[in-house]
Chains A and B, each alone.
Chain A
């Protein structure tokens, strides 16, 4: 019998008859057995989906299909796959066709955020593993649904931001691991206050805002606008709503705050050990928001039940001079790991490193271990941005949150934004 490369992951023979597929890759000789080669399909091949970081194909994971509701994007992606990767990919217009493609193991979701939840759930239902771009979901309710679906079908989910486990953390000038070690050591004391600001090395995309007055324009022939909107309320087409600039509209995203927020907040959640927790208080200072177009914000503060705080400094409210990134009762740490604790590097070296995280997504798919940043902790950090977005949209100076029920306390209007009904026929 010819060995189908999918047999390892997909088919099941007579139960109880156990066979081991040889995995020469573990011997370290670089050979990839066909049964170990995974495949992926990308939904949304605009800016992010076609970026060099994601538009890849190699021995470990081949790109086999792409999907977009803009025919130009789709054509460009097919050509790029051929020219740059030497792959003949299958183009799809409807993401459901890509998800149900039997040749796809991993569904990579690179659409605007208003689609993330639906697509992740659909992919889980189809038995696919999922790589989803940040922010995880546009609403808190959709995040809960993604967790349910991933759990029900035992899928591997990766939310794609990575600073909790690698790379210099923006302008902070250090990666997160030594910070985690410092926090865990208790040398800074408790509770901690973390400040995300231009002054600590983080440049919010303040200019990712919408326009509060758009005129209706004809939908270009290459774009299936109804499918692009999907679950979002119908609004007349204007090019500013879609490609690239969609970030400036509440129906699809929430500006620099929601689009960059999870990058900055997820590592903090990890640092503070809040992967299973939510803040109990969210305070927002901002100019008034338009009902449709996202504007800027000035200052956002999260407070956890134990007193830990995360402060986001926005446009015009950035502290001047030297501001600690993390401040505790016993010490502070600044950009570039400058710390008020004398000889801190030596002291830290003497302590055990944090538990290693599982950061090889393909290996997680293969071994069915949870990825370091998955649907559960990803939902928690995404909730941080969604909490602030809700306060911002409603003009609330302060919202109280119950971490157990994941609802706001004493604010029906805020709770009405946790689960937002979708435009038919879409559902999650």
Chain B
């Protein structure tokens, strides 16, 4: 980029480092905006900025009255360039851009466009623009934007001061600028304006005086009624005497906030008396006033204030004492531990609890002992002390252990809870002893505490306790046992539990533990119980298993449960586990759709429909669409539907999908009316999709009479089909064969599952609905059933069971192997276009042409095969210009005939055929290091020149030119989106280009340049070429043939080449001399 900038458009140079005219740079740039990456943004903006004033002229001229045209592209470009040149290091580029904006502002008549241009100029304006801006303040529609500019304009403080002081009519805008810039030297004027009867200017002047006034403005501001301005001024005044006087008055105000502000001022300006002031303020009845004293205490009175306040603590009212204690805690005042401990004993609960929290923040042995002692008291004191100890600033373990031995049952219970929370493992045996306490409260608290202190070493002891347990303690011991095992792996947990089960009388006691282990073996054990005599306990445990392995178990449980709470509870867990599992889109659809089939309650139905968005597939979209009118889950369904079609472009077409889109739109509109912001964005998103909607194509119901279901022993979808995408749910009964392209390719069998006819992978069929997805494109098949992929783009080149080549097209049908009908639902097909396969004409074959691209394979090319992709039989250019590379043939060619067809998919698109760039050379600019035969939608208005500046495309840049060397005959392409044929013939120095059957270029390049591809004197400017550039590679002998993109949106097809050197080996100077 640095190089590009250095070589960029200077005042003299007319082209950039790639020899492009400013017009071309602007056009290339605009076609790529908005830039999609930071890198491309910086490249494009660097190039545009390099065009200087010319580029901005071109761009600002494109701004049409805002209500007649979409100016966004030009706005992206202008805003982008301006921001780019404001960056550090780009100073040198600013001036021409700035100048062009000034010019554009003068020429522009549309108000919003003027505001836009001025906003841009604001970022670049300098002191030289002062008069321009001064004038704009009088323009009512632009004044606020101009004010903004003057507020930020560098280096004009003096000019502004002079302007303000010489302005007789008070101006709110100028006063605002004085405020924003904190101008010195305008105070007398501001005072005058503040006192004027122009209310807007007066308010702005008061605001200005607040930040840049002196004591001279005090009177005015005090009288103004704007107390905040007055206070700001007081904050800025150095004269403490004056401030103290004012502060005293404020401290007596009725308004508490003003009293606080006054106190703050007083403290800051009278530090000598700060301690006294604070001590007085602490006795005030207003909490906010006291608090003002506290937050300002140390900054104004110094650290000594803590001791001073402490000395007077006892004389303070209790509310103030509470404030002080909280304050001491907040500042961790260790020196006041004694005071705080004493405050814990207060009869005022708020003071005591505040002291307890303060002590925990301060920490230390003394505080710890005092806090532990609070446990003895029970009630709010103990509750607060317990909480405070948990965040105590230090280690509490020894203290807690000693409290376990207390004679006071309250203390023991609190200590047990602390020991558990803090995981004091060393207290385990002591706590086990306490479980045997005669005091039921202690015993229960001890059982509860086991959870925190048990480790895996205690597991077998806990099992013994568990086997003998009764009442409430059972659940507590289970919890402890779970915690003890938790650090172990799932398998190790299961092993330990399984060993314990052998000794257990009641296995169900171990279910919660098995649930935590969650391994398949553990799930199997739980299922045993569920199907046996411990149904409820096992049910509860299965719902706790946190492992997707439990998904199918949960489904079976839900399927057999009666509708209602229990079924919904199971399904909620099911959804959570499916979300947790790593599912493919097909699996997600399968798992959620079968749950919806179980008819869950409202809340679960809504959850399922939201979760369905994990599957951006046709059946998921259609399923969601079916629920859009659901009164409870409708919005969730619409949201899922919209997110699916957004994610899956193949669903953004077709009449049947359109109906569903309209339904979703209705749901969003209703939701937006309720105030849901996201619904508004969904409407925007759908409107965007509908703007390009095509009712043709896409998925259609595949059943008879446009139905989405079908039941027959034989179903035919077509006789001569090549590419297609089919979805259906099959009711798993009987056996059937699916014929695709007249080949029996897929088997549906209730007994043997779903598979390719000769495949090894089979997915078991359920006796319910089995979702199946079959897609055939080119020579490949994709098959998925019940969420499991059976064949992923497997090549079908032979008819199954034979050596015969597979037909490209054929019948698609379903046939039952018995009298059982094939029953389908959610049955959809998308008939995709046949892939056009290019073959040579007889004539070309005889001549010896070879195919470079047959519609399917890129095997004859190298280079940027990801930016040039085969699609629908064409090469589609998706590459943006620059850095992403060109597409090259694999072989070098010198003399040849190159034939192809091209298609402009977007206006103004630019590409080119590079030839003879040197043997095996890639990555150079073919226009100069070889030849570029231009490909360009040259009649687009973008290339026609604008009001001023750009005169339009040069003729030697037109389509069919040998770029920069020869002017082709002008081709009238007509509308874009049509195919055109082209032939490029290169024989020695003779280049012939034929487009749509018409020769547009037929030139001897040596004659055209009089043999001077580069300037004879080595100069940069070459008088012998039309573009006055040097073309060092013009006379190269050979090279790859390449496509050189300047942006996405052009297609190529039927590409073939005849290598003339193979046909006529004697021809050509080099060949001859070799012989």
Residues of B within 8 A of A396 (CB): 87
Asked if A46 and B70 sit within 8 Å, CB to CB, the answer is no
**Residue in A9, A215, A352, A416 whose CB lies within 8 Å of B152:** A416
A393 beta carbon closer than 8 Å to chain B: yes
A234 beta carbon closer than 8 Å to chain B: yes
Q: Mark B327-366, 1 if CB is under 8 A from A, else 0.
A: 0001000000000000000000110000001000100000
Asked if B317 and A286 sit within 8 Å, CB to CB, the answer is no
Residues of B within 8 A of A421 (CB): 147-148, 151-152, 176, 180
B292 beta carbon closer than 8 Å to chain A: yes
Q: A155 vs B286: C-alpha distance in the bound complex, in angstroms?
A: 13
Asked if B71 and A424 sit within 8 Å, CB to CB, the answer is no
Label chain A's interface by main secondary structure: loop
B228 beta carbon closer than 8 Å to chain A: yes
Asked if A153 and B261 sit within 8 Å, CB to CB, the answer is yes
Asked if A368 and B86 sit within 8 Å, CB to CB, the answer is no
Residues of A within 8 A of B87 (CB): 394, 396, 411, 413
Residues of B within 8 A of A419 (CB): 180
- Give chain B nearest CB distance to A101 CB in angstroms: 14
Q: Mark A73-85, 1 if CB is under 8 A from B, else 0.
A: 0000000000000
Q: Mark A297-340, 1 if CB is under 8 A from B, else 0.
A: 01000000000000000000000000000000000000000000
**Residue in A9, A205, A369 whose CB lies within 8 Å of B326:** A369
A16 beta carbon closer than 8 Å to chain B: yes
- Give chain B nearest CB distance to A3 CB in angstroms: 14
Asked if B290 and A368 sit within 8 Å, CB to CB, the answer is yes
Asked if B423 and A346 sit within 8 Å, CB to CB, the answer is yes
Asked if B285 and A152 sit within 8 Å, CB to CB, the answer is no
Q: Which of B112-120, B529-537, B975-983, B1037-1045 has 4 or more CB atoms under 8 Å from chain A?
A: B112-120
A287 beta carbon closer than 8 Å to chain B: yes
Asked if A247 and B287 sit within 8 Å, CB to CB, the answer is no
- Give chain B nearest CB distance to A275 CB in angstroms: 14
Residues of A within 8 A of B83 (CB): 393-395, 413
Asked if B677 and A424 sit within 8 Å, CB to CB, the answer is no
- Give chain A nearest CB distance to B249 CB in angstroms: 14
- Give chain A nearest CB distance to B56 CB in angstroms: 15
Q: Which of A90-98, A121-129, A262-270, A378-386 has 4 or more CB atoms under 8 Å from chain B?
A: A121-129
- CB-CB nearest in chain B for A49: B675
**Residue in A212, A350, A367 whose CB lies within 8 Å of B422:** A350
- Give chain B nearest CB distance to A207 CB in angstroms: 5
B380 beta carbon closer than 8 Å to chain A: yes
Q: Mark B846-884, 1 if CB is under 8 A from A, else 0.
A: 000000000000000000000000000000000000000
Check A290/B79 contact, CB under 8 A, given A10-B256, A355-B361, A424-B204.
yes
A221 beta carbon closer than 8 Å to chain B: no
Q: A349 vs B419: C-alpha distance in the bound complex, in angstroms?
A: 10
A53 beta carbon closer than 8 Å to chain B: no
Complex interface residues of chain A between 148 and 185 (CB less than 8 A to chain B): 149, 151-155
Asked if B487 and A343 sit within 8 Å, CB to CB, the answer is yes
Complex interface residues of chain A between 38 and 80 (CB less than 8 A to chain B): 46-47, 50
Asked if A245 and B112 sit within 8 Å, CB to CB, the answer is no
Max chain A Cβ within 10 angstroms of own Cβ: one of B112, B154, B677? B677
A427 beta carbon closer than 8 Å to chain B: yes
- Give chain A nearest CB distance to B646 CB in angstroms: 9
Q: A401 vs B231: C-alpha distance in the bound complex, in angstroms?
A: 31
Residues of B within 8 A of A416 (CB): 123, 152
B951 beta carbon closer than 8 Å to chain A: no
A235 beta carbon closer than 8 Å to chain B: yes
Asked if B422 and A349 sit within 8 Å, CB to CB, the answer is yes
B436 beta carbon closer than 8 Å to chain A: no
- CB-CB nearest in chain B for A76: B675
A218 beta carbon closer than 8 Å to chain B: no
B144 beta carbon closer than 8 Å to chain A: yes
Asked if B80 and A288 sit within 8 Å, CB to CB, the answer is yes
- CB-CB nearest in chain B for A292: B75
Q: Which of B3-11, B33-41, B902-910, B1063-1071 has 4 or more CB atoms under 8 Å from chain A?
A: B33-41
Q: Mark B716-752, 1 if CB is under 8 A from A, else 0.
A: 0000000000000000000000000000000000000
Check A126/B290 contact, CB under 8 A, given A20-B318, A413-B83.
no
Residues of A within 8 A of B793 (CB): none
Q: A208 vs B684: C-alpha distance in the bound complex, in angstroms?
A: 10
Residues of A within 8 A of B70 (CB): 213
Q: A284 vs B79: C-alpha distance in the bound complex, in angstroms?
A: 18
B45 beta carbon closer than 8 Å to chain A: yes
B946 beta carbon closer than 8 Å to chain A: no
Q: A396 vs B207: C-alpha distance in the bound complex, in angstroms?
A: 34
**Residue in B264, B285, B288, B677 whose CB lies within 8 Å of A18:** B285
Asked if A47 and B423 sit within 8 Å, CB to CB, the answer is no
Residues of B within 8 A of A186 (CB): none
Residues of A within 8 A of B283 (CB): 16, 18
A285 beta carbon closer than 8 Å to chain B: yes
Q: A416 vs B119: C-alpha distance in the bound complex, in angstroms?
A: 12
B66 beta carbon closer than 8 Å to chain A: yes
Residues of B within 8 A of A345 (CB): 486
Q: Mark B309-328, 1 if CB is under 8 A from A, else 0.
A: 00000000111101100100
Asked if B115 and A47 sit within 8 Å, CB to CB, the answer is no
Complex interface residues of chain A between 197 and 212 (CB less than 8 A to chain B): 205, 207-209, 211-212
Check A397/B38 contact, CB under 8 A, given A153-B260, A216-B66.
yes
A30 beta carbon closer than 8 Å to chain B: no
- CB-CB nearest in chain B for A259: B677
- CB-CB nearest in chain B for A17: B285
Asked if B34 and A295 sit within 8 Å, CB to CB, the answer is yes
Residues of A within 8 A of B71 (CB): 213
A11 beta carbon closer than 8 Å to chain B: yes
Asked if A154 and B292 sit within 8 Å, CB to CB, the answer is yes
Residues of A within 8 A of B264 (CB): 151-152, 154
Residues of B within 8 A of A291 (CB): 75, 79, 116, 119-120
Residues of B within 8 A of A350 (CB): 422-424
Q: A350 vs B362: C-alpha distance in the bound complex, in angstroms?
A: 19
Complex interface residues of chain B between 237 and 276 (CB less than 8 A to chain A): 254-261, 264
Residues of A within 8 A of B260 (CB): 152-154
**Residue in A153, A211, A244, A368 whose CB lies within 8 Å of B257:** A153
Asked if A234 and B677 sit within 8 Å, CB to CB, the answer is no
A86 beta carbon closer than 8 Å to chain B: no
- Give chain A nearest CB distance to B581 CB in angstroms: 14
**Residue in B180, B349, B675 whose CB lies within 8 Å of A50:** B675
Check A245/B677 contact, CB under 8 A, given A154-B292, A288-B34, A352-B392.
yes
A19 beta carbon closer than 8 Å to chain B: yes
Q: A427 vs B151: C-alpha distance in the bound complex, in angstroms?
A: 13
Asked if B119 and A233 sit within 8 Å, CB to CB, the answer is yes
Q: Mark A365-401, 1 if CB is under 8 A from B, else 0.
A: 0111100000000000000000000000111110000
A-B contact pairs, 25 of them (CB 8 A): A9-B286, A18-B319, A18-B320, A50-B675, A121-B228, A125-B227, A126-B257, A155-B257, A209-B681, A213-B70, A213-B72, A215-B67, A216-B112, A244-B672, A244-B677, A287-B37, A292-B75, A349-B452, A355-B391, A395-B38, A395-B45, A411-B87, A422-B176, A425-B200, A427-B176
Binding site for B on A (CB under 8 A): 9-13, 15-20, 23, 26-28, 46-47, 50, 121, 124-127, 149, 151-155, 205, 207-209, 211-213, 215-216, 233-236, 240, 243-245, 247, 284-292, 295, 298, 342-343, 345-346, 349-350, 352-356, 366-369, 393-397, 410-413, 416, 419-425, 427
Among all A-B residue pairs, the 7 with the closest Cβ atoms: A127-B257, A413-B86, A368-B291, A244-B677, A349-B423, A291-B79, A154-B260
Binding site for A on B (CB under 8 A): 33-38, 41-42, 45, 66-67, 70-72, 75-76, 79-80, 83-84, 86-88, 112, 115-116, 119-120, 123, 141, 144-145, 147-148, 151-152, 154, 172-173, 176, 179-180, 200, 203-204, 207, 227-228, 231, 235, 254-261, 264, 283-292, 295, 317-320, 322-323, 326, 330, 349-350, 357, 361, 380, 387, 390-394, 396, 421-424, 452, 486-487, 672, 675-678, 680-682, 684-685
